[in-house]
Structure 1
Amino acid sequence: MRPMCLWVNTIFFVALPNRWKPTPNKPVDPPSNDPPTAALASWSLWKNKQAPAAARLVVPHDSGIADPLRAIDLNTALQYGTAQGYPPLYAFIRQFTRENLHPFVPYKGGPEIILTCGSTDGFSKTIEALSEKWAEGHDPIEEKPGMLVERYCYMNAIQTTTPRGMTIAPVEIDDEGMCAKGPGGLEDVLENWDNTKGRRPHLLYTVTIGQNPTSGTLSVARRTEIYAICVKYDVIIVEDDPYWYLQFPSNAPAGAVTPEPVKSSGFEFLDSLIPSYLSVDYQGRVVRLDTFSKTAAPGCRLGWITTQPALAERLLRITESSTQQPSGFVQAMIAELISGPQSSTDPGRGGAANGSGWKVDGWVRWLEGLRGNYERRMTVMCDTLDANKYIVKAGRRRSLTDVADVEEWAVIERTKIYDFVRPLGGMFIWVRFNFTSHPLRKQVPAARLSQALWIFWTHKPYLVLVSPGTMFAPTPEIRDGDSFNCFRLCFAAINEDEIASISKRFAEGAQDFWKIRSKSKIDKLLEDDASESVEGTEGLAMMGGMC
């Protein structure tokens, strides 16, 4: 009988990690002399780095490998497994995390990891481990738990914690991310906590690189400030960083330098990244969430938690009684992609053209290639938005006719209709509109103008769908007070060759909306929305993204 194998006929999973086009932004492509450390020499990439990608992965029925930390096959992957994760993948990620991603964590013994079914699953288990459920009318208010979040945040976190009865405590943000000091900053919120809302929050949820949705990127100095405040008020930091590898040096301020790492990762690319909160976590109060969703495929539903061993053990117990290990199929595919066959008789095939795996240096090169690809997309979208954020109106003034021929003079008026900050990382651009400059501002409230604009974009010839800021407001006060001025755009959700044209459609839609002088047209747009009679989705560009 022919042995059963798992054949993965998808170019994505077997793409050569250095297949990306060179990027004009510097520095983004890996230097030619960036080898792994001596300790990782055995994980080296295939010899011919320019070879074409393999056409498929093969996870064999039986690899013939006796060591469970190395055997990648269906015999082991499709059985009940340990809650830590599939042993060969767990071993790779643990080593990669401790030696390369976070080579310096300032507590004895370093961190532990546990595999998850993606970051959302990891966050849910973290909340389960670190908070009690609270019910109004049943539990006293002084026991009501709370969680600190950015003023605008990833709403899955809110939707996970709200049913548990947690108070959501927004913290003010700036272009960098969460503020440590000042009005509404972390210290201000904690020091002046209103006990009628419940206990002072003991959890902080944050996305520090390419913050979702505002794209802020937190510096090492700001992290150090925030960590010190968390020590003072005994707050656990839940660091969700799916975009950590997507840091864009082309947008870094002039003269900005990432501090030298205390201990090198062995790769110049990883050393160049702003380090995790783990790098300052001398008390073991950081829980970091990582995922393959943004580096392999969202449908993998595979990630991992990095944290201090005592907490990792508690998370392991929760996993044992809930999801258990992630999908064996997915874990085996990712393990085969990276590690490849483990002996000359192993019938598996990894991501390299010769059937070997990518290994550590191939995986790092893939991550750097992703960064370069998204940086190009970001630059194109930002350049297009930047070129169209003003309404330009030309006219003549009679007062000028006394000094020159009227045909020779014109008055140019420029009105800024929106603005944004070029992101230092992530997948998003946070665009803030100035509805006080709209011709109908005195007749139509800004929130209503914002809703009409959102609908206007979905009509021909613009056909773009963006994410309104109201989606990311963690409290009703923020939703009603300011969020309608903002929209989130996602350059990762659009094909690279379409970014310029779709971004232009977005900008032209905004420009044309500012030319509307009739209140009845605004009313008609909103009536169409209420009756669900907007145009079909054919040709509609999804600029909002799904993440």
Structure 2
Amino acid sequence: MGNLAGGLPHNTYFPYDTLEAMTALPERFKPTPNDPRDPPTDGLNKLSVSDKPSTNRILVPHDSTDKNTLRKIDITTALQYGTAQGYPALYTWLRQFTNEVYHPNIPYEGGAEIILDCGNTDGLSKVYEVFFNHWDRDRDWIREREGLLVEEFAYSPAVGGTAPRDVNIVPVAIDSEGMLAYGKGGLLEVMENWDFSKGKRPHLMYTVTMGQNPTSGLLSVARRKEIYKVCSEYDIIIVEDDPYWYLQFPSANALSMKFRGEPISQNSPPADYKYNDPAKGQKSSGFEFLDNLVPSYLSIDTDGRVIRLDTFSKTVAPGCRLGWITAQPAIIQKLFQVTESTTQQPSGFVQSLVAELLVGPHDESSGGKGGAKDGSGWRAAGWVRWLEGLRGNYERRMNTMATILEEGKFYVETADSNKRISLRKSKTGISSSSGSLSDISDSEDTFSLVTKTEMYTFLPPSAGMFLWLHVNIFSHPLSKTISPQRLVFALWVLLTQPPYLLLITPGSSFSPTPAIAEEKGYRYFRFCFAAIDEDKLAEKTKAFVAACRFFWGLRKRKDIDRILRDEEDEEVDGQGSTAFKAFLGGELGQEVAGREEEDMEFRMKMGHMC
């Protein structure tokens, strides 16, 4: 039949004859053990462990001979207009993988449906489009205003994405795991005591439950069940943003036990606990690595109220702009309608290359070449092995950073018998005398007093790519004469100056409301151990420790003034520089975006690098 109906360009006019790439094999990186109590020699004590360089060439042909449209991977189909569901070969593979391997215990009949998107930010935007009405404070009744439940510290673009609809942001208290179901500030208290003068009672929750950004918390199954119960009672849709699911670190509890003598959470099961256990009536994923991971909210979604966002951003590359949404079919149908009229399917270039890598050609005669050595795709086994290797290297990075910070968190002062204080630091804080207890002489003739001050506290990251550090600013000797906000700002500025040259994200960037930013957000820093080059990770972590030791040794107000000299030239309403206001967050920090160029550069330098 001759097609004179569709407005399609002819595939022979595409300027690409093939798409080719050299790619890794799944075994490139070595995993870390699921049970770290007795790791192998190279299991956790090296920053990165790789096998011999392993590469393979993949090829997307111009025309595949495969007649099955659900398997075909070629330029002719991938670069043509497609359906909003996603490229058929990749969509089909991901749908099966999601229901049978990632989430084999979804409780509702028929399992979940999926739709491909342009990454989790795009997916979340479409969820907002489906579930939020636009609200105008100059036109609409307050009772019609929508609300979004979020963690007390949250991924800022997810919060910012609600601004065009003027959604009411409703923070929920968190602990070391993540969101609280009960207790002060917990979900139940928020819902039971809802103030309708602020708008509708919220019916949508945004949450990052694995490697929570920024706190790195890992929500236990027990806590999930508590939260789900409240959500069922108040009809709350759970949007689970989960880019870090496979980055769960069994060694985090071991680190916590080593340095604190207690686990990160009392809900933490043994490191080798199996969640998908056939002996308990559950289906196994078929992979020990996945069975040992804390499962998604989907595993307890008896009501069909969970929308899960997955992405290739952390497993392949952020520039892919490729991910998928998993939910009950009725919700996916609504998202399909939004996708048809907005982005349509993701990039055909990206989908075909990822499909060739994972799925591969059906047989050698089809003309393509997949990501495995034999020319087939990685398939499920290869993909899971790749995730294991990624987890391994990120876990090693986490251990490196956390151990250095743990060993350097105390500022030590010593005094001799004449009461002369020795601050145990050089001019910059970087010296052979580190200020640890091991540096202090045992001679009673020399020292009679040792004072230890804990400069910061944190928990080893249970998952994800971040470490959330609390600055104990009230332990600083100048905290009674200088505001804590200004002191923390001075520390942050000091870190950016020689010899430290270190950039970390202020906690105010993750404060979903100005009130949280002003009350306590400024007291936190978020470190990312994922992006920095391996040979710089330990060096820059030690630089942070050295900067803190130098900073805690400052005893005069003029020392703080000197650090902030270049940052406080411009005052705003007599209340501090634009840079200082931006650091603290809140409305004023956002309003200064249009001011002088140097302040814009400063804000861009320290901004929401999430």
Provide TM-score, normalisation by structure 1: 0.89
Tell me the secondary structure at the aligned position of residue 566 of structure 2: helix
Q: Deviations over 1:82-109 (max 9, x none)?
A: 0000000000100000000011111111
1:371 aligns with 2:391: yes
- Structure 1 segments, 4+ long, off by >6 Å, are 28-31, 542-545
More deviation, 357-366/407-416: 407-416
Q: Does 1:15 align with 2:35?
A: no
The AA in structure 2 aligned to 1:19 is R
- CA displacement at 1:408 relative to structure 2: 5.2
Name the structure 1 match of 2:430.
Answer: none
Kindly indicate whether the alpha-carbon contact (under 8 Å) linking 2:507 and 2:522 is maintained by their aligned counterparts in 1. yes
d(CA) in 1 for partners of 2:358, 2:228: 34
Is 1:444 matched up with 2:445? Answer: no
Number of residue pairs matched by the alignment = 517
Distance 1:21 1:360, change over 3 A: closer
Alignment of 1:229-308 (within 5 A): 229-252=230-253, 253=263, 256=270, 257=273, 259-261=275-277, 262-308=282-328
| Cα distance change, pair 8–464 in 1 and its aligned pair in 2 (3 A) | farther
Q: Give me the identity figure in percent.
A: 54
Which stretch of the first structure deviates more once superposed, 421-430 or 494-503? 494-503
Question: What is the DSSP-based 3-state SS (H/G/I as helix, E as strand, rest coil) of the residue aligned with 2:205?
Answer: strand
**Compared CA separation, residues 23 and 545, structure 1 to 2 (3 A):** farther
- Per the TM alignment, residue 515 of structure 1 is displaced from its structure 2 partner at its CA by 1.6
Q: What per-residue deviation string (whole Å, max 9, x for no partner) do you get for residues 160-207 of structure 1? A: 112202110000000010000001000000000101000100011000
Superposed counterparts of 1:167-182, under 5 Å: 167-182=168-183
**Contact 1:340-1:356 at 8 Å conserved across structures:** yes
- Amino acid aligned to 1:246: L
CA distance in structure 1 between the aligned counterparts of 2:39 and 2:363, rounded to whole angstroms: 29
Query: Are the equivalent residues in 2 in contact too, given 1:144–1:167 (CA < 8 A)?
Result: yes
Give the counterpart letter for 2:544 in structure 1.
Answer: F
Alignment partner of 2:516 out of 474, 478, 483: 478
Distance in 1 between residues matched to 2:38 and 2:140, nearest whole Å: 55
Q: Rate the CA distance shift 1:301–1:406 in 2: closer, same or farther, 3 A.
A: closer
TM-fit CA distance, 1:477: 0.5
| Residue 418 in structure 1 maps to residue 427 in structure 2 | no
Match of 1:353 in 2: 373
2:545 paired with 1:507: yes
Of residues 503, 507, 522 in structure 1, which corresponds to 2:560?
Answer: 522
Is the 2:203–2:236 contact (alpha carbons within 8 Å) kept by the matching residues of 1? Answer: yes
Change (3 A) 1:406 1:20: closer
CA distance in 1, matches of 2:552, 2:25: 46
Deviation string 1:493-526 (CA, Å, 9 cap, x unpaired) is 1122321111111111111111222322322333
Q: Which residue of 2 aligns with 1:324?
A: 344
Amino acid at match of 1:427: M
Q: In structure 2, how many angstroms separate the alpha carbons of the residues matched to 1:342 and 1:222? A: 43
- 2: CA distance between counterparts of 1:178 and 1:448? 29
Q: CA separation of 1:30/1:412 partners in 2, compared to 1, >3 Å: closer, same or farther?
A: closer
Aligned-pair CA distance for 1:118: 0.2
Aligned-partner Cα distance in 2 for 1:55–1:240: 32
Map 1:215-234; keep pairs closer than 5 Å: 215-234=216-235
Q: So what's the TM-score if we normalise by structure 2?
A: 0.80
The answer for the alignment partner of 1:40 in structure 2 is none
Residue 44 (structure 1) aligns with: none
Distance in 2 between residues matched to 1:131 and 1:280, nearest whole Å: 25
Distance in 1, matches of 2:532 and 2:503, equals 11
Q: Deviations over 1:268-297 (max 9, x none)?
A: 111111010011110100000000001000
What's the CA shift for 1:369? 0.8
AA aligned opposite 2:302: Y
Distance 1:411 1:517 in 2: 19
Aligned counterparts of 1:89 and 1:545: Cα–Cα separation in 2 = 32
Q: AA paired with 1:136? A: R
Contact kept, 8 Å, 2:34 with 2:292, in 1: the verdict is no
Q: Which residue of 2 aligns with 1:85?
A: 86
Distance apart, 1:451 and its partner CA: 1.1
Amino acid aligned to 2:24? A
- Tell me how far apart the structure 1 counterparts of residues 336 and 312 of structure 2 sit (CA, whole Å): 20
Runs of 5+ consecutive residues of structure 2 not aligned to the other structure: 1-11, 41-50, 254-262, 420-441, 570-578, 580-596
**More displaced stretch, 57-66 vs 136-145:** 57-66
CA distance in 1, matches of 2:202, 2:465: 29
Alignment partners' CA distance in 2, 1:51 and 1:462:
35
Change (3 A) 1:290 1:414: same
Identify which range, 329-338 or 500-509, moves more after superposition.
Answer: 500-509
Within the alignment, does 1:134 sit opposite 2:135 as a pair?
yes
Aligned match of 2:413: 393
Which deviates further from its counterpart, 17-26 or 316-325? 17-26
Q: How far did 1:30 drift?
A: 13
1:181 partner amino acid: Y
What residue identity is the alignment partner of 2:402?
A: C
Aligned in 2, Cα 1:522/1:25: closer, same or farther, shift over 3 Å? farther
CA distance in 2, matches of 1:236, 1:112: 16
Higher relative contact order (CA 8 A, sep 6+): 1
CA distances 1:139-164 after superposition (whole Å, capped 9, x unpaired): 11111110100000001111111220
Shift in CA distance, 396/29, structure 1 to aligned 2, threshold 3 Å: closer
| 8 Å Cα contact 1:493/1:544 also seen in 2 | no
CA distance in 2, matches of 1:297, 1:65: 29
Q: Distance in 2 between matches of 1:94 and 1:28?
A: 36
Q: 1:495 to 1:52 in 2, by over 3 A?
A: closer
Residue deviations 1:38-65 (CA, integer Å, cap 9, x gap): xxxxxxxxxxxx8963343211111211
Report the counterpart of residue 203 of structure 2 in structure 1. Answer: 202
Corresponding residue for 1:312?
A: 332
Q: Does 1:344 align with 2:364?
A: yes
Aligned residues of 2:275 and 2:291 also touching (Cα < 8 A): no
The question of whether the paired residues in 2 share the 8 Å contact of 1:488 and 1:544 is answered with no
CA shift for structure 1 position 9: 3.9
Give the one of 398, 407, 415 matched to 2:445.
Answer: 407
Task: Tell me which residue corresponds to 2:469.
Answer: 431
Native 8 Å contact 1:18 1:369 kept in 2: yes
Q: Which residue of 1 aligns with 2:530?
A: 492
Task: Give the conservation status (yes or no) of the 8 Å contact 2:361–2:368.
Answer: yes
TM-superposed CA distance for 1:359, in Å, is 1.1
Instruction: Name the SS of the counterpart of 2:93 in structure 1.
Output: helix
Question: How far is the alpha carbon of 1:354 from its aligned partner?
Answer: 3.6
Is the 8 Å Cα contact of residues 396 and 410 (structure 1) preserved in structure 2? yes
Q: Distance in 2 between matches of 1:314 and 1:276?
A: 22
Q: Who is 1:104 aligned against?
A: 105
Q: Secondary structure at the match of 1:392?
A: strand
Change (3 A) 1:205 1:416: same
